[in-house]
Structure 1
Amino acid sequence: MKNTLPIALSNRHVHLSEEHIKILFGEGHELNKTKDLSQPGQYACEEKIDVVGPKNTLKGVRVLGPARKNTQIEVSLADGFTLGVVPPVRDSGDLAGSPGAKLVGPKGEVQITEGIIAAARHIHMHTADAEDFGVNDKDRVKVRVGGERGLIFENVLVRVHPEYALEMHVDVDEGNAAGVKNGDMVELIK
């Protein structure tokens, strides 16, 4: 049975709906890929927007593609403080009751009533990896980080799909607290 996997730090970013892409970047705009991300089909875009909260603005927040059904802004808890909102720690797509903000692009702006979250720590696993690790989709596990600032992350969601690549995701605040960098190996504890 396998027990180690790579970790990656996720910086603030936004996933936009098709409707919001049109408003922020103009009718007929297509997102421009700058690089592929670790998860198949996901990519960082050339496009950036400003996220305006009640207290402050996060300028130049990277857009990730492809377009999603609902606009979602993923920030750290520290970013939430900067904006003046309290982002709930949620699984991706669980946006009900989360704070909103004004989004400003080069061609327009849109006010969203919800969509800002601090993404819950999670592991992407291919179905074969889940079998190797002895876990199932939606399991919650612990993950040990070694080193000088070692710690154990609890309540880590396992997400299994035949198109996922093996990798744990934490936000920048969590990664910095644990002293990890992209590609470091961590240990899954069932």
Structure 2
Amino acid sequence: MDPQMIKSIVDEVVLHLNQEEKSKPSVPIGVSARHAHLSKEHLAALFGNGYELTKKADLSQPGQFAANETVLIVGPRGSIERVRILGPVRGATQVEVSITDSVKLGVQAPLRESGDTQGSAPVTIVGPKGSIHVSEGLIIAHAHIHMTPEDAAQFGVENGEVVQVKTKGKRAVTFENVLIRVSERYKLEMHIDTDEANAALLKTGDNGNLIKLTDTKGLR
């Protein structure tokens, strides 16, 4: 076959593959560092009766914010200072850490969907006015994607479904079992922890391609 014809075919295939890659559904990525969600009761125990969180910065999800306040979290083998509290207060206290953090604390925090704390790891939380010990509440959060119902329709997915997300760059990875979370209150963004981000050389603002699966029973 003529070399020029071969080159033309190769160029056409490469162009087609590049266009196909660009057309795949893309989601922005946010790196979620260790943080704490506190109940109203526990906020009072740690900071004093009637205390209210003060806003440091808005988060990507509407109505949520990083507070100026931080706490110390303590486990059997170590502690971590200046763990940021996220507001507003919640119905139950929850602390989200990475596997690296879990090892430092000396606990085996389970991999869970945010909010699923039943039977999770214990942790002691220390504030300026007192401390609390929760018998369950320390977790490693599943990678997940927040999206609106309109986003879900566009991507062809539904709440509770799991998908893959393929990243680009020098250390491209494919995240498995990424949970879809759909609500009118959400803004499109995938959340991963610092261990996941470091392993894949990702930072907040990077993007990944959403890949819909035929079998979506990964987390259920």
Bin for the TM-score computed over the shorter chain: over 0.9
Q: Does 1:36 align with 2:58?
A: yes
Whole-Å Cα distance in 1 between the matches of residues 69 and 130 of structure 2? 13
Amino acid corresponding to residue 184 of structure 1 in structure 2: D
**Bigger relative contact order, structure 1 or 2 (CA pairs below 8 A, ≥6 apart):** 1
2:146 pairs with one of 108, 124, 134 = 124
What is the TM-score of this pair, normalised by structure 2? 0.85
Aligned partners of 2:145 and 2:178 also within 8 Å: yes
The structure with the greater share of residues assigned to strand is 1
Structure 1 residue matching 2:120: 3-state secondary structure: coil
Aligned partners of 1:31 and 1:47 also within 8 Å: yes
1:103 pairs with one of 102, 121, 125 = 125
Q: Does 1:57 align with 2:79?
A: yes
Show CA shifts across 1:2-30 (max 9, x none): 60010011000000000000000000100
Show CA shifts across 1:91-141 (max 9, x none): 011111111111100001111101000000000001111111111000000
Larger radius of gyration: 2
Amino acid corresponding to residue 34 of structure 1 in structure 2: K
Amino acid corresponding to residue 142 of structure 1 in structure 2: Q
Structure 1 residue matching 2:136: 3-state secondary structure: coil
Amino acid corresponding to residue 9 of structure 1 in structure 2: V
Structure 1 residue matching 2:192: 3-state secondary structure: strand
Whole-Å Cα distance in 1 between the matches of residues 203 and 132 of structure 2? 34
User: 2:184 is matched with which residue?
Assistant: 162
Superposed counterparts of 1:41-190, under 5 Å:
41-190=63-212
Aligned partners of 1:125 and 1:159 also within 8 Å: yes
Once superposed, which parts of structure 1, at least 4 consecutive aligned residues long, lie more than 2 Å away?
Answer: none
Report the count of equivalent residues.
190
Structure 1 residue matching 2:208: 3-state secondary structure: strand
**Gaps (5+ residues) in structure 1?**
none
Structure 2 residue matching 1:67: 3-state secondary structure: coil
Give the RMSD, CA atoms, in angstroms: 0.9
Superposed counterparts of 1:6-17, under 5 Å:
6-17=28-39
**Gaps (5+ residues) in structure 2?**
1-22, 213-220
**What percentage of residue pairs aligned between the two structures are identical?**
52
Aligned partners of 2:171 and 2:200 also within 8 Å: yes
User: 2:3 is matched with which residue?
Assistant: none
Whole-Å Cα distance in 2 between the matches of residues 187 and 2 of structure 1? 6
The structure with the greater share of residues assigned to helix is 2
Aligned partners of 2:24 and 2:209 also within 8 Å: no
